[in-house]
A and B are shown apart, each in its own frame.
Chain A
Amino acid sequence: MMSIGIQQIGCYRPADAVNVVERGRRLGISPEFITSKLGFRKLLQRAHGEDTSDLCVKSFEDLLGRGPLNLSQLGCLAVVTQGPDGGGIPHTAAVVHRKLGLAAEMAVFDISLGCSGFVQGLSIMCALMAREGIGSGLLFTADPYSKIVDPEDRNTALLFGDAATCTLLSDRPRFEVGRCLNWTQSSTSDAIRAGIDRRLSLDGNAVYRFVARTVGRQILQCVEAHQIAREEVDFFLVHQGSRFVVDAVRQSLGVCPEKVPFLAADTGNTVSSSIPLALEMCWELPLKRVVISGFGVGLSSATLMLKGDATV
């Protein structure tokens, strides 16, 4: 079977941003709490009129700037989002496909997942490509929560930023993608939800409990499955939900802070984009093993190992 993995990542970070301390002051939340617990300085904001598919296109343009790409070899395209263009029909992936002018002979679909979506999306796309003999594919992540966050809601207004990524998957990978471990705790799925009013609500305590009790264990299972010590992993790139969420995972792993970096201070929690954005920030490093773990909406978590050739 073909070895499919990550060849390159394109990113789009909008130029506009919300100052978190200023918004927090208006909501009566102290700068100390914002700095020490949330960890965000800025929350990236899409431009007025910029829709989810537009963010995807911008990330694709960034990908094109990173090296040659033979569009005729693309066989599949997926968009991880729960904030689609318009009412969701047609699926955002089809809108992106049209805007990019890609060939008709492609599998094009959305994946409805939140913060675990990049990891599960990798697993889905790699399996599809290996089964169907597809040499290249694109996995987009774009979930602009500014569409659904109430800026007056103290539980959500200081957390989320807009961004998008475009990951080129191919049979010539920089990182091979390992087996994915999945967990879904649907009994507490209401902890992160958007109702008919399309307003996001978040039960931070339930999510924190889920992360602290579940994610670290799953990551350690992943490491054990590869029969290596946790110290042999270069980085654990976990979903950048907030500084204290990343710290909670790190504490459950029992590794030094440098192994589990918090890299989202100037973006905010960008949902399914947070891990590929973090991976792109580490791209120039000689990495052999990176564990990625996404968790959130569902409540779900997904973890897998990326194996690099340690060359750039």
Chain B
Amino acid sequence: LKTREEIRSAVLAGIAKVTNRSEVVLADHESFQHFGLDSVDRMSLLMEVEDLLGATFGDQIGPERLKCISDYIDYIQQPDSESKTADAPHA
């Protein structure tokens, strides 16, 4: 199971990659949309987080449900989460 900090770091790293920034500072409850991520950016972020955590989110989860870092933490850490984590990121 991923820790809160692992998930937070992955999301921030994902945002940095999607927005081409070297560093991102974002509070857990600050919305991605408010931060300037559009719908395509948020979908790209979801896949970046999958890669970074070695996880596969279910087809039913989309960026409309993952609006901030806290949403990622809550979703991935919930006991019946659809996400499946692997040892290594996707090839």
Cα distance A38–B34 in the bound complex, in angstroms: 21
Q: Which residue of the partner chain, among A188, A204, A212, A244, contacts B47 with CB atoms under 8 Å?
A: A212
B38–A205 touching, CB < 8 Å: no
* Chain A residue at minimal CB-CB distance from B63: A205
* Chain A residue at minimal CB-CB distance from B62: A205
B62: A residues at CB distance < 8 A: 205
Q: Is B43 an interface residue (CB 8 A)?
A: yes
Q: Given A209-B47, A212-B47 in contact, is the A188-B59 Cβ separation under 8 Å?
A: yes
Min distance, Cβ A191 to any Cβ of chain B, angstroms: 9
A206: B residues at CB distance < 8 A: 59
Secondary structure of the A contact surface, majority rule? helix
Give the number of residues in A that approach B within 8 Å (Cβ atoms): 13
Q: Is A37 an interface residue (CB 8 A)?
A: yes
A212: B residues at CB distance < 8 A: 44, 47
Among A151-195, those with CB < 8 Å from B are 187-188
Q: Which residue of the partner chain, among A33, A187, A188, A208, contacts B43 with CB atoms under 8 Å?
A: A208
* Chain B residue at minimal CB-CB distance from A205: B62
B43–A37 touching, CB < 8 Å: no
Among B75-91, those with CB < 8 Å from A are 90
Q: Which residue of the partner chain, among B40, B63, B64, contacts A37 with CB atoms under 8 Å?
A: B40
Min distance, Cβ A168 to any Cβ of chain B, angstroms: 37
Cα distance A153–B90 in the bound complex, in angstroms: 34
B59–A244 touching, CB < 8 Å: no
Nearest 4 pairs between A and B by C-beta? A205-B62, A37-B40, A244-B40, A208-B43
- Additional A-B contacts beyond A33-B40, A209-B59, A248-B44 (5; CB < 8 A): A205-B63, A205-B64, A206-B59, A212-B47, A213-B90
